[in-house]
Amino acid sequence: MYIKDLSCISPQQTYSQAFLQGRIEHFKTNHYLAAEPSYEELIPSSKLRRMGKVMRMGIGTGLPLLNKYPETKGIILATSEGGVEDSMNFLNQVVKYQEGALTPTNFVQSTPNAIAGLLALMTKNTGYNVTHVNKGLAFESALTDASLFLEEEPGARLLLGGLDQFSVYNYNIELLAGAYKKHFVDSSQLLGSGSPGTVCGEGSAMFIVDSQKKGALAQIKGVGQGSGLSLAELMERLRALLTSSNLVPEDIDAVVLGYNGDSETDTWYDKVRQELFPHQAVYSFKNLVGEYSTVSAFALWFATQLLSGFMPPKEAVLKASGEKPKRILIYNHHRAVQHGYMLLTV
């Protein structure tokens, strides 16, 4: 599967060229909010005024790609939470108004597949339209779905994406559960914070993928996932992913790892580095965009940029390499329970 084009909205200035040109946003809070562009030229104001944030980010990243590639045969998205703020507003209204007068807008946007549905409606795309919602592996599942689709229809082109929004409701609940740091940490210090918990982020990354090598930015050689793996099982899975492409760990030039500053779970990344990739370049990304369930979509966007010659900011370089990478392994876990990995080459 080949990546032909891509678009990203994140807490960094990724929608414009600013991030790729070296502009880095720093955060002093525990939630990194997306730098949304002005959507006015892209989305009619009559539609824009109704959209929640995740819908805006999804349309903002997906619609330009669908407009540019009108022959796209399907839309496969991943979102763990979807329009969670609309869902919460709707549910609160159910309680407040005793199931009486409920506004339709919150309801319409409360379902996770509303984003893919609206993209299809806006572009009259009647093809395959699926949204994967399985938490920290939603994007890996969407990627697998896209891969299977392209095996069946090698000539097809798909829009693939992963997106989630910051939710105050979820943040407060997950904070109590220990998912986030209890004290604000400057994003430049996040990975060395040495304390439990991480920071919350949000964003949307979308890709046009197909089976044709010509004009590709990168090739996704493989994707895998597993839940509740032991460390030994994870290593076995990663080796198997490489073996399926006739590669060994030494063939990998760089690894993009999901370090998020949580002292209790970053050890998984340390072990992967130590055991499989002790000499390779290592890059982080969650200290740029925070943690969210579909953040591996951002990791894929980031890795694709690395393959295209992007010089990453020093904040993302844990171990440098003087050469442009040709093969990158992305490994990310969601709370040390859900593990996803992707192999990317030029």
Token pair 């949204």 is found at 131
Q: Is 274 exposed, middle or buried (0-12, 13-18, 19+ CB in 10 A)?
A: exposed
Q: 231 near 271, Cβ under 8 Å?
A: yes
Task: Select from 72-80, 98-106, 115-123, 237-245 the region that touches another protein (CB under 8 A).
Answer: 98-106
> Rounded to the nearest 10 degrees, how much is the dihedral formed by the CA atoms of 54, 55, 58, 64?
-150
Minimum CB distance to another protein smaller for 101 or for 176: 101
Task: Select from 75-83, 103-111, 189-197, 212-220 the region that touches another protein (CB under 8 A).
Answer: 103-111
Which of 309, 274, 15, 336 is closest to 318 using CA atoms? 274
Of residues 129-158, those binding another protein (CB under 8 A): none
Minimum CB distance to another protein smaller for 108 or for 336: 108
Alpha-carbon gap, residue 61 to 122, rounded angstroms: 13
Please state the closest distance from residue 59 (CB atom) to another protein, in A: 16
Q: 332 near 162, Cβ under 8 Å?
A: no
**Bridge pairing between strands 254-257 and 218-227:** unpaired
Alpha-carbon gap, residue 154 to 127, rounded angstroms: 15
Partners of residue 343 on adjacent β-strands? 222, 329
Q: Is 98 in the site for another protein (CB under 8 A)?
A: no
Q: Which of 42, 88, 91, 108 binds another protein (CB under 8 A)?
A: 108
Minimum CB distance to another protein smaller for 95 or for 232: 95
Alpha-carbon gap, residue 127 to 66, rounded angstroms: 12
Radius of gyration of the chain (CA): 19
Please state the closest distance from residue 65 (CB atom) to another protein, in A: 26
Minimum CB distance to another protein smaller for 16 or for 103: 103
Q: Is 111 in the site for another protein (CB under 8 A)?
A: no
Q: Is 248 exposed, middle or buried (0-12, 13-18, 19+ CB in 10 A)?
A: exposed
Alpha-carbon gap, residue 7 to 298, rounded angstroms: 10
Which of 218, 168, 197 is closest to 346 using CA atoms? 218
Q: Which of 102, 122, 130, 175 binds another protein (CB under 8 A)?
A: 102
Q: Which amino acid is at 29?
A: T
Q: Is 97 in the site for another protein (CB under 8 A)?
A: yes
Please state the closest distance from residue 48 (CB atom) to another protein, in A: 9
Strands (E), 68-169: 74-78, 128-132, 157-164
Q: Which of 18, 42, 88, 105 binds another protein (CB under 8 A)?
A: 105
Q: Is 99 in the site for another protein (CB under 8 A)?
A: no
Q: Is 103 in the site for another protein (CB under 8 A)?
A: yes
- The first and second tokens of residue 288, run together, are 């740029």
Task: Select from 3-11, 104-112, 165-173, 227-235 the region that touches another protein (CB under 8 A).
Answer: 104-112
Q: Is 41 in the site for another protein (CB under 8 A)?
A: no
Please state the closest distance from residue 105 (CB atom) to another protein, in A: 6
Task: Select from 43-51, 139-147, 214-222, 252-260 the region that touches another protein (CB under 8 A).
Answer: 43-51
Q: Is 49 in the site for another protein (CB under 8 A)?
A: yes
Q: Is 322 in the site for another protein (CB under 8 A)?
A: no
Q: Is 122 in the site for another protein (CB under 8 A)?
A: no
Q: Is 215 in the site for another protein (CB under 8 A)?
A: no
Minimum CB distance to another protein smaller for 51 or for 257: 51
For every residue of 176-215, DSSP letters joined together read HTT-B-SS---GGGGGG--BS-B-B--EEEEEEEES--TT
Minimum CB distance to another protein smaller for 108 or for 346: 108
Q: Is 235 in the site for another protein (CB under 8 A)?
A: no
How many residues bind another protein (CB under 8 A)? The answer is: 12
Residues that bind another protein (CB under 8 A): 45-46, 49-50, 97, 100-105, 108
